[in-house]
Amino acid sequence: MNYTKEQILAHCNEFSKNTLMETLKIEYIDAGEDFLTAKMPVNPSVHQPMGLLHGGASVALAESVGSAASFFFINPKEQEVRGIEISANHLKSIREGYVFGTARIIHKGRSLHLWEIKITDEAGNLISLCKLTNMVLDRKKTEQHE
């Protein structure tokens, strides 16, 4: 990566405006050579009817952080990232507080990135374990940024 931690976090939080990430109040909070971490509040807006964190909200957090992480391994002027598969195992429930999604690269190829995303609570308990595959696509000449 050719970006500082501060640049990565600022970019991720900026491009989250007016998106699902903003709706879910996802905030990117830490980054390193092989990981990116975001947090999301657990409250009624992300609950399922039984008052627990909705699995879909967990998956949205996982895909958001894993896709954002791939962005820093590509040339955004010539390439873009698309999530093509995500799986999740929900291991523990949570009713309130924060969850943290940390994406770590498993495989960084030219055309595919494979990420493991661990979603934990504030005490470090594993809530969900997710796997995300991203495809790296070349931008069409008309879409490339000058």
CA dist 124 and 133 (Å) reads 24
CA dist 143 and 12 (Å) reads 21
The CB density around residue 78, as the number of other CB atoms within 10 Å, is 13
Tell me which of 63, 78, 96, 122 is the catalytic residue.
Answer: 63
What the block records as the tokens of 53 is 């964190």
Could you tell me if 26 and 66 are in contact, meaning their C-beta atoms sit under 8 angstroms apart? no
* 86, HSE (Cβ side, Cα atoms, 13 Å): 23
| 14 annotated active-site | no
What the block records as the tokens of 65 is 């952080």
Could you tell me if 81 and 134 are in contact, meaning their C-beta atoms sit under 8 angstroms apart? yes
The residues carrying an active-site annotation are 63
